[in-house]
Amino acid sequence: MIYSGWRIGELLTLEEINLKEGYFRGGVKTRASKHRLVPIHPKIADMVKIRSQSGWINISYQTYMKEFNKALTAAGVTDKHTPHDCRHTFATLLNNSGANPVSVKRLLGHSSGGDITEKIYTHKDIEQLRIAIEKI
């Protein structure tokens, strides 16, 4: 989740994992977040391939949380964390890397608010989003 920015509900209900083109498609919360494309970061591409073949997106929230907490423990993390913390880390890493702010909003599925230029006239294709995500 740190390399994709998905909300937990979005991750568990992804519409598509396109390994050939290297992206996820999904999103559920808002108009800006629905059906968005998020490139698969090279650092997680092998894991996504293996896990997508094993049906990992068809697990329950409870099963995910059990595995999430098990992974934290295995990594030696003793502080309490939630999957949403990964989304915050994703946004922070993108910001720290100097990623384009419009791309960051698109990757997170955030609306451009009242900025008409950003909302209507600024377009980001999958390659531009890939450039932003690969900065982290």
| Per-residue pLDDT tens digits for 21-80 | 999 999 887 777 889 899 999 999 998 998 888 766 667 889 989 999 999 999 999 999
Please say if the pLDDT value at position 120 is more than 60.
no
Higher local confidence (pLDDT), 67 or 126: 67
pLDDT for residue 57: 64
Query: What is the C-alpha separation between 39 and 90, in angstroms, rounded?
Result: 13
Helix, strand or coil for residue 16? strand
